[in-house]
Structures are given as C-alpha cells and as structure tokens.
C-alpha cells in the first residue's frame, strides 16, 4: 500500500471516528469534509453504460453536499461550463442521497472524459479533477 493510500485511509478512519455515535455528520466541520473529498477524489464521479446510454453519476458528491457549494464540470476536455445542482443540505441527514437521478444521461460513446471542480463554502476551489471513460 502506497504512503498516500495509507495516509488517506488513516485520515478517513480518523474523520469517521470523530463522527457522533449515531453516525450523523451534521456537526462535521467543513475542513473535514474537504479532507474527505480530497482523499476520495477518485470517487467523485463514475461512468456506467445502461440501456444504450452513457450515465455519469454524481452520487459521491451528493453524499457530501453539506460541504460543497457548487460542482462545475466539463465534458471531453471542454471548459467547466456546466453545473451539477446538488440537493439542498439536510443537517439532520447530511449524507442521504435522495435525488431520483443522481446522474446525467448522454448518448452512448459521446463522452470520453469529464473534468470536475468543487467550490467549497469558504470560497476555495478544489483542483480540477479529470475522469476518463474506460468502457464497461
């Protein structure tokens, strides 16, 4: 296991250990959510082929929506000119994903990559992360 993975795993374990006993993250400081999102950035979005369409899921980001103000994305190395609208944060159930469709639907084979950038409540921005479609 690489040092980064060990550090990331230790950070994630440490953050989740600091959650209240009932698992409710309502009082999690925004800085901890930023750290979780940084460690889990490989999971921000995922591709899926389904019924002749290409789906790009934002489920992971929806589950951490209480620590994100905006999600901007661009397809196929284009500009970050589209915004994923997160559900409103419910402090009593902060990690719930209640959206009927936590994904975008695109024609099969139309998207080779998606780039994503997060804007946090303190106004800071994440680095732009690029995710490649690898086929299903």
Phi, psi at 93, each rounded to 5°: -150, 65
Residue 84 contacts residue 29 (beta carbons within 8 Å): no
How do 70-75 and 113-119 pair as beta strands? Answer: antiparallel
Per-residue pLDDT of the chain (136 residues), as tens digits, is 444 444 444 444 444 444 444 444 446 888 899 999 999 999 999 999 999 999 999 999 999 999 999 999 999 999 999 999 999 999 899 999 999 999 999 999 999 999 999 999 999 999 999 999 998 6
Residue 45 contacts residue 116 (beta carbons within 8 Å): yes
Is the pTM here over 0.85, yes or no? Answer: no
**134: β partners:** none
Query: Could you count the other beta carbons within 10 Å of the beta carbon of residue 136?
Result: 9
């Amino acid at each position: 296991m690489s040092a980064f993975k060990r550090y990331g795993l230790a950070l994630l374990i440490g953050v989740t250990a600091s959650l209240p006993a009932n698992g409710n993250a309502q009082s999690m400081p925004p800085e901890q959510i930023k750290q979780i999102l940084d460690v889990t950035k490989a999971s921000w979005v995922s591709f899926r082929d389904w019924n002749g369409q290409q789906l790009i899921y934002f489920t992971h980001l929806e589950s951490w929506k209480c620590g994100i103000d905006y999600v901007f994305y661009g397809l196929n190395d284009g500009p970050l000119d589209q915004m994923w609208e997160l559900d409103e944060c419910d402090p009593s159930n902060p990690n719930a994903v209640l959206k009927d469709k936590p994904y975008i639907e695109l024609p099969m084979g139309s998207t080779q990559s998606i780039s994503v950038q997060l804007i946090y409540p303190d106004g800071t921005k994440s680095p732009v992360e690029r995710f490649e479609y690898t086929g299903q």
